[in-house]
Amino acid sequence: MEQKTLLIECPDSKGLIAQITNICYKHQLNIIRNTEYVDPVSGQFYMRTRLEGIFNDHTFMLDLDRALPQGSERQLVSDRNKKVVILVTKEAHCIGDILIKVYDGSLKLDIAAIVGNHPELGALADKFGVPYHFVSHQDKSRAEHEKLLQQQIDLYQPDYLVLAKFMRILSPEFVALYPNRIINIHHSFLPAFIGANPYHQAFKRGVKIIGATAHFVTDDLDEGPIIKQMVTNVDHNYSAEDMARAGRDVEKNVLSKALELVIEDRVFVHGNKTVVL
C-alpha cells in the first residue's frame, strides 16, 4: 500500500468535507489522518489528508475537480524526501543543527549542497559529505553574485532554498525565481526588530523575551509569511551579547522546526500569511 498527502485550498462551502471524503471512499483510499481549517475572515478552506491505498492519481483528481468549488487548488503529494540547497555565510549553529538532524534521521530531507559566500563552513560540510560551493561576493555587484548563486543552485533543482544565517539581502529578481520556496531564519520575534542587529535593538528596549522567526522570503525585507516562531526569557542581567548567545539556540530550533513543517507539507501560504495544519 502506498501513502500520499492530499492538500486542498478553496473557498469554503457546505458539505465540502463530506464530498471529499466520499471521493476518497469511492477510490478505496483509507484516511489515516485528516486536518482542516476555515479562515473566519476570508472564508478560505484548508485541508490536509493522509491517504493510504492503491492510487489512480488522474481519475482521483478528476473526481475532486468536479466536486470542489471554483478557485480551488489541490495537490496529491507522494512521500519522498524534499531536496534543499542551503545558503550560509560564517555562522555554524543553524547549518550544524540541520546537518546533525539529517544525519540522525530526525529531519527527513536531502541536502543537495551548501553554498556559502565565505569559505569558512566548507570544512563542516565536508565532515558530513555534503558538497560545498564557495561563491564569493567580493568585487561583484549584487546582480553578478546572485547570477553565480543561481547557477550553482540550479545544478541541483532543489525543492527549497534554506537561508541558514545567510547574511545577504536578496534582490526581488532573485526571490522571484523561487516563489514561496526560500526559507529564512531571522534572529528576532518579527515584526519586532526588523533588519540588522536585532539583539542590540532588543537590549536597548529592555525586552523580557527574545525570539526568532522562520519565514518565507519575499520582496519585503523580513516581512514574508511566517512559518514558525519561538521565544526564550531574558532579563535586565543580560547584555546584548548574552541575548545573542541565548538567541542562537532559539534560531536553530525554530529553523529546523519550520523545515520539518514545510517538508511534511503542513504549510499553506495565502497572501502574506500561512496556515499550518
pLDDT in tens, 157-192: 999 999 999 999 999 999 999 999 999 998 765 556
Instruction: Give residue 242's pLDDT.
Output: 78
Residue 222 annotated in active site: yes
| Cα dihedral across residues 61, 178, 47, 270: positive or negative | negative
Residues recorded for the chain? 277
Per-residue confidence (pLDDT) for residue 210, from 0 to 100:
77
Active-site residue, from 63, 97, 159, 222? 222
Write down the pLDDT at residue 153. Answer: 98
**Grid coordinates of 98:** 540541520
Euclidean distance between CA atoms 119 and 121, whole angstroms: 6
**Predicted pLDDT at 226:** 94
Query: What structural domains does the chain harbor?
Result: 2-78 (3.30.70.260), 82-276 (3.40.50.170)
Segments of the chain with pLDDT less than 70: 188-207
**Whole-number pLDDT of residue 244:** 76
Cβ–Cβ under 8 Å, residues 213 and 229: yes
Q: What are the C-alpha distances in Å from 57 to residues 29, 62, 207, 269?
A: 11, 8, 52, 24
Dihedral-angle region of residue 31 (phi above 0 means left; psi in -120 to 50 means alpha; beta otherwise)? beta
How far is residue 99's CA from residue 80's CA, in Å, rounded to a whole number? 18
Answering whether pTM is above 0.95, one says no
With a CB cutoff of 8 Å and minimum separation 6, the contacts of 14 are: none
pLDDT by residue (tens digit) across 55-74?
A: 999 999 999 999 999 999 99
In what side-by-side order are the strands of the sheet with 73-78?
A: 30-38, 44-53, 2-11, 73-78
Distance CA 221, CA 216 (A): 11
